[in-house]
Amino acid sequence: MATGKRPDKSGSVEGAQGAGKMPTSDELDSRRRSLEAKLVSKGVGPKPSSGDKGTETASGVAQAMKLSSEFIAGVLAGAGLGWLADRFLGTSPWGLIILLLLGFCAGTLNILRSAGRVAENRGVTSIKEANRDKPE
């Protein structure tokens, strides 16, 4: 053994009464509960307050759907506005190309904002406004 300790004989069935006989479900349940209690006391087993893993998965799926829909909406809005610009202004492929790229950039920026990678725009403050708040 790596720890240098000798294994205990608690799990041994050699020479025990009823050796070779299958344990009942009550015996197995009591052994399982005692093993879980030992593991929890040593900090190895699952925590009793651990939540359901299904909620984490559902939350991740919801976040993925939100991010993908924001990106797709940006691209589709850019493509739609570009097509309308081409249709009414007669700028054949250029309106669609430019506004599609702008929609792609807007969708990417929305994803980064939602994921918390980019700070939201709080407006541009002019130098006069910034200096006005400073004490002289």
**pLDDT above 60 (res 13):** no
Single pTM value for the model: 0.49
Which residues touch 99 (CB under 8 Å, ≥6 apart)? 78, 79, 81, 82, 85
**pLDDT above 80 (res 87):** yes
Determine contact, residues 118/109, Cβ cutoff 8 Å: yes
Nearest alpha carbon to residue 105 among 94, 92, 86, 118: 118
CA distance 97 to 71: 17
Determine contact, residues 42/90, Cβ cutoff 8 Å: no
What are the residue ranges spanned by the domains of the chain? 63-119
